[in-house]
Amino acid sequence: MALATFGAGCFWGVEETFRKLPGVLNTAVGYMGGTKENPTYEEVCTDKTGHAEVVQVEFDPEQITYADLLDVFWNNHNPTTLNRQGPDVGTQYRSVIFYHDETQKKLAEASKQELDRSGRFKNPIVTQVEPATTFWRAEEYHQRYLQKRGMDSCHL
């Protein structure tokens, strides 16, 4: 089994997107990349802790590759908006890939460069590629939030 961690805006919809993929064994939403230990949702929402809302994906690399997960990441958010996804604004909603090893780092950076060169987006990609730090699991009511409510997405 392997781990991948992505920030692509509000973690509810991002989790639901990854959770449904064949080869994904488990997902959890939480916070990564900040300075405060064990932050709460309310603290992260102040935009003062430096954390991003993230989804940690446990996957079987024999069923789904990290490159496949990167494709899902790129295709399910706007990587050209700095600290924002849709109506959600703040550094906690930034586009970020937290890599867990050098292979993930190389694949993430290569896919970002390739997508940026492709001309698919009018604006440059602002997604950060950073080493994974401590994953702080979000409060239980955030876990599988949309699934618990019978929803596929949180789009307005």
Q: Which two tokens stand for residue 96?
A: 């970020």
Q: Which of 11-20, 46-55, 130-139, 140-149 has the lowest mean pLDDT?
A: 140-149
Backbone φ and ψ of 59, nearest 5°: -140, 160
d(CA 113, CA 46): 32
For 4, other C-beta atoms within 10 Å of its C-beta total: 26
Output the CA–CA distances (angstroms, integers) from residue 123 to 25, 86, 94, 118, in the order listed.
Answer: 34, 16, 16, 12
Mean pLDDT across 115-134 = 95
Note the pTM of the prediction, 2 decimals. 0.93
Q: Which two tokens stand for residue 89?
A: 């604004």
Mean pLDDT across 68-95 = 95
CATH hierarchy code of domain 2-148: 3.30.1060.10
Mean pLDDT across 9-37 = 95
Mean pLDDT across 17-33 = 97
154 catalytic per annotation: no
**Per-domain residue ranges of the chain:** 2-148
Active-site residue (options: 2, 4, 8, 10): 10
pLDDT for 156 equals 45
Backbone φ and ψ of 104, nearest 5°: -60, -40
Mean pLDDT across 130-140 = 95
pLDDT for 90 equals 94
pLDDT range class, residue 155, cuts 50, 70, 90: low
pLDDT for 102 equals 98
pLDDT for 147 equals 72
pLDDT range class, residue 107, cuts 50, 70, 90: very high
Tell me which of 25 and 119 has the higher pLDDT.
Answer: 25
Write out pLDDT tens, residues 34-78.
999 999 999 999 999 999 999 999 999 999 999 999 999 999 999
